[in-house]
Structure 1
Amino acid sequence: MIIELSHRITEGMTTYPGIPGPVLGTHLSREDSREVYAEGTEFHIGTITLTANTGTYLDTPYHRYAEGPDLSQLPIERMADLPGLVVRAEGRPSVGLDLLRELDVRGRAVLLHTGWDRHFGTDAYLRDHPYLEPEAAAWLAEQGAALVGIDSLNIDATPPKGERPAHTLLLAAGIPLVEHLTGLARLPVSGFRFHAAPPMIAGLGTFPVRAYAVVRAA
């Protein structure tokens, strides 16, 4: 079974305060294409102006560190076909080490299920969101998690001039992050493979992904 874990990208949507929403356009309309192709044949070619941090997206180390691997350099095995592990943290203001220390996270995509995705698209989503505590981020880095994701506004708390310790610690360890996930409630705690690979774009550190999980039959 395949479970969708991404938000739809729609024109003008807000993912993070201050980041402009995407703008959709048309390079070649169906009507104009009729003059280019044979009778009865038509195509649509669209355009999009998009900030890289839109919708459900992946952060590479380059997002935080100028010398870190960008979207074109991060190995595909760090983003696709990863054994997954869900950490249940609904109703908590943050994800702490107490929820993690008994888990085997090495080589796994660790997905933090806070339930905050229920607010996506509303003002409530943009403030007082759950996040990963610095000590927990350090532990995940030390234990060798392959990827860390969250269904919240940001993996860090977001004061205006915050230090962003989870980004700093995890991306320094080469661990990509996926933010704004959704649908984690539908996943089992384990027994699934996680995929969230963006295009290979040189010089960018973040980009939207079609995140999903493949759950093995019971």
Structure 2
Amino acid sequence: MIVELSHRVVEGMTTFPGIPGPKLGVHLSREDSRAMYAPGTEFHIGVITLAANTGTYVDTPFHRYAGGDDLSQVPLSKLADLPGLVVRAAGQRVVSLDRTLDVRGRAVLIHTGWDRHFGTDAYAYGHPHLAPESAAWLAGQGPALVGIDSLNIDDTPPQGERPAHSLLLRAGIPIVEHLTGLEALPDDGFRFHAAPPLVAGLGTFPVRAYAVVP
């Protein structure tokens, strides 16, 4: 079974307050293409303009650190076909992890249920996030990737501190934010995938996150 874990990207959507929504356009319309191809043959080539932090996306170390690995440098071994682990944290605004968990080499996905608010004003306020001390513990335990179904893995106060981003990305651990559908997964025994395009010079980009459940 394949379980979808990504939000659909649509024109004008809001992912994070203040980040512009995507715009869709047309480079070659079906109508115009008819003059270029044999009768009965037509094509559509679209254009999309979007901020890299749109929908469900991955943060790589370059997002936080100028010398960190960008989208083209993070190996697929940290993004695809990962053994998954779901941490159930519904009802917790500040998520603390059980330090007896075996997280090494795994995709650790934090299920808060906050994705139910995606696309509404409520999504941006009072969202669940990872406790800094749990982020520090994770950074030392060697997970392949950490994800959350919330606005941000960090709290988003005006002063802009981001301890989970700083600790995890410094340790070379990608972060996937704005996941959805984690309630459909078992706690473990599945494989997780969230690979972005191989773009040099970018630290974040939307992904088609999904899980394969035997």
| TM band (smaller chain) | over 0.9
- CA distance in 1 between counterparts of 2:18 and 2:153 reads 17
The one-character-per-residue Cα deviations of 1:63-106 (angstroms, maximum 9, x if unpaired) are 0000000000111110000000000000111211xx32121000
Deviation >2 Å, runs of 4+? none
Q: Secondary structure at the match of 1:166?
A: helix
Aligned residue pairs total 214
Distance apart, 1:161 and its partner CA? 2.0
For structure 1, the residue ranges without an aligned partner over 5 or more in a row are none
TM-score normalised by the chain length of structure 1 = 0.97
Paired residues for 1:85-164 under 5 Å: 85-96=85-96, 99-164=97-162
- CA distance in 1 between counterparts of 2:82 and 2:94 reads 24
% same residue: 78
Distance apart, 1:160 and its partner CA? 1.9
- CA distance in 2 between counterparts of 1:128 and 1:209 reads 25
TM-score normalised by the chain length of structure 2 = 0.99
Letter of the structure 2 residue corresponding to residue 70 of structure 1: D
- CA distance in 1 between counterparts of 2:112 and 2:45 reads 38
Q: Which residue in the other structure is 2:49 paired with?
A: 49
Distance apart, 1:162 and its partner CA? 2.1
Paired residues for 1:19-30 under 5 Å: 19-30=19-30
Distance apart, 1:154 and its partner CA? 0.2
Paired residues for 1:193-208 under 5 Å: 193-208=191-206
The one-character-per-residue Cα deviations of 1:24-54 (angstroms, maximum 9, x if unpaired) are 0000000000001100000000000010000
Q: Secondary structure at the match of 1:143?
A: coil
- CA distance in 2 between counterparts of 1:161 and 1:44 reads 45
For structure 2, the residue ranges without an aligned partner over 5 or more in a row are none
